[in-house]
Amino acid sequence: MSSTRWLEVIAVVFGIVSVYLNARQNPLGWATGLVNVGLYTLFFFQGKLYALMGLQVFFAIISIYGWYQWLRGGQQQTGLKVTRIDARLAGALTVAAAAASAGLGWYLDTRTGDRQPYIDAGVSVVSLVAQWMMARKYVETWLIWIAVNLVSVPLFLVRGDYATAIQYSVFLGLAVSGLRQWQRSLSGSS
């Protein structure tokens, strides 16, 4: 197996562990996520998916922010609880994500050798929004992750990045599980 594929496989392992822990509201998910994004930065650079590569830097920043928020956020500084997102904020994030996806897609299409510029841009921008929502413990983050995973699996299959496609398939199942767990937490039954 090539060094690029080994890099991908190791990143996948850390990614799956990270999402598994986040679905269970375990703050260590953010630490394993930091390892995952470091490895994927290199992998996406080698694969010429520049938006996804750049996204890893933002994921690292949000991971540090999320880790802090889950441990010390909230009014009593005892960590955040699962909540629902405000409709105005959700609308603003939707408009911003659509505009940013279109703009980034255009840039990647006209200025880089990105192989799938609009899909790369859309997945990247929407993932960034979902990651921020996870850091804030909005239950709706899991709905967005489900959508991202449904787009990402075929993207990576077509590219021949099979380990990453498998990872996103596992992420899809974990996102469904995370949604259920966070909904129970929201309703106070867990």
CA dihedral sign of residues 53, 57, 59, 63: positive
- Reduced to 3 states (helix: H, G, I; strand: E, B; else coil), residue 18 is helix
User: Above 60 in pLDDT, residue 181?
Assistant: yes
> Alpha-carbon distance 165 to 171, whole Å?
10
Mean pLDDT of 116-143: 94
Q: What is the per-residue pLDDT across 28-69, written as a single tens digit (0 to 9) for each?
A: 999 999 999 999 999 989 888 787 788 899 999 999 999 999
User: Above 50 in pLDDT, residue 190?
Assistant: no
Q: What is the per-residue pLDDT across 10-36, written as a single tens digit (0 to 9) for each?
A: 999 999 999 999 999 999 999 999 999
- Residue 138 forms beta bridges with which residues? 83
pTM above 0.95, yes or no: no
Q: Which pLDDT band holds residue 189 (cuts at 50, 70, 90)? A: low
> Alpha-carbon distance 174 to 152, whole Å?
14
**Of 45 and 138, more confident:** 138
